Amino acid sequence: MVRFEEVVSEALAAKRRLLAGFDFAFGYPAGTAERITGKADWQSLWRAIASSVQDGPDNTNNRFDVAARWNQHHFPDGARFWGRPRALLLDGLTDTKPPAPSGPPLAFRLSEHHAKGAKSVWQLAYAGSVGSQSLLGIARLSTFLDQHPSRKEIAVWPFETGFCTGFTQAVVLAEIYPSLFDVALSDGDVKDAAQVRRVAQEFARFDVTGMLGELFARPLMLNDAQVDAALKEEGWVLGIGHENLTVLAAEEPTQETPVSRLDYIRDPAEIYRQSFETIRREADLARFPESMQPLVIRLIHACGMVDVADDIVFSDGAFEAGAKALADGAKIFCDAEMVRHGIISRLLPAGNEVVCLLNDVRVRPLAAWNRTTRSAAQVDLWASQMEGAVIAIGNAPTALFRLLELLDQGAVKPALILGFPVGFVGAAESKAELAANSRGVPCIAVQGRRGGSAMASAAVNALAGGLGTNG
């Protein structure tokens, strides 16, 4: 903190602008602040953390005791904080992950659903955890801000700035995620140090190219309610939702771009923004829960027909079931290679394995023996592995029919069925059967003949990353 305070003082004295990035969560899942402080705002929670956490100059602290006490006092419906040294026994704090909460505050913030491999802020110990750093870091920053003589010149993004680029404060504090960029390690490199250097280098390059300000703007994938949650309590990770800028900043033009007489939008982020804005304006999304709307928007975007929203059917909690399965590392089984290739791997929250067995050497003889299609035959090969998985069918009605047959025969159940087979023979019928009786499995489907690989992969991308751009 001493060095940080010096850097801030130097920037203010020299009238320079300063962006200070911190690799710990600035917020907790929505509902946390009200549970702990009675007020649903970030600053009340920061001050509560600062008044409770004791962190000495020798790095001795009481973070585990605070977490245990808060679990007992504020979360009677189930502990949120978890993780501790196994030799440290505390009532109220386990060394293993508790069951996922069924209501707010949930296990992850919105931003963590969009940050590949992000850990929950509730996890205080073990590899990759950030919860301890968050408690200690927030305590330090809160005290720093409350005591700083030039507090009005310092802003915490996005809480005090909003998602905009027009703020005037000289010093901005922001949460960063070092894994936002891929890093190639050399011999002797420490991964964490290399990642932090890469983030600093990329943000500096964005600054030089005039694109840094765009990182502070509203992420495209967030609806109004999600923006409100991020600004009041959860915060956001700088750069998440603007991954397309990584590509733009890295591109070095090798020759002058020729002047074109054709007038069209070239900026990928603007294309996405206008597309999603048009869909929200023209499609009737009122019957869909907020959690489902990004998926519906992606489906419409994939096919270009806003009226497809009228044909979408879904079971209660289907989106949440699929998103949780992906966050927990579930496999994704696809009936066609086009579905597999349409899934954006960088959005997958746990590096999930995406499987299509259509071209497996076992499939053709199995299909011949059963007198069925290869698409249906491969489903038999999924059967032993699909417990808790996400099934994405975007091509063959026979694959969906076979899946339902296997479930009738007692096969293990996946976490979610995405039913988007397309065509004139069996497509409408297979999806009607799924909608009428999903065999106890949450499902999302589009009724009728429409569907296709693009829609199936779009549904997976929405479960994994909302309306994040393809990059």
- Structure token digits, residue 279: 């869909």
Angle of CA points 419, 422, 423, to nearest 5°? 145
Measured distance CA(282)–CA(293) in Å, rounded = 13
CB 463 within 8 A of CB 390: yes
What DSSP letter does each residue of 344-377 carry, written as one string?
-GGG-TT---EE--TT-TTHHHHHHHHTS-HHHH
CB 168 within 8 A of CB 153: no
Q: Which residues are catalytic?
A: 301
Helix orientation angle between 453-465 and 293-303, rounded to the nearest 10 degrees: 150
Of the candidates 365, 276, 322, the one whose C-alpha atom is nearest the C-alpha of residue 464 is: 322
CB 121 within 8 A of CB 109: yes
- Structure token digits, residue 68: 């245990």
- Structure token digits, residue 173: 């504090």
CB 41 within 8 A of CB 33: yes
Of the candidates 21, 408, 451, the one whose C-alpha atom is nearest the C-alpha of residue 207 is: 21
Phi/psi zone of residue 216: left (φ > 0), alpha (ψ -120 to 50 degrees), beta?
Answer: alpha
Measured distance CA(291)–CA(427) in Å, rounded = 27
Nearby residues of 189 by Cβ (< 8 Å), 6 or more positions away: none
- Calculated CA dihedral for residues 457, 458, 459, 464, nearest 10 degrees: 90
Of the candidates 337, 322, 292, the one whose C-alpha atom is nearest the C-alpha of residue 453 is: 337
List residues bridging with 19 in a β-sheet: 172
Return phi, psi of residue 406, to 5°: -65, -40
Angle of CA points 302, 436, 404, to nearest 5°? 80
Of the candidates 463, 389, 119, the one whose C-alpha atom is nearest the C-alpha of residue 455 is: 463
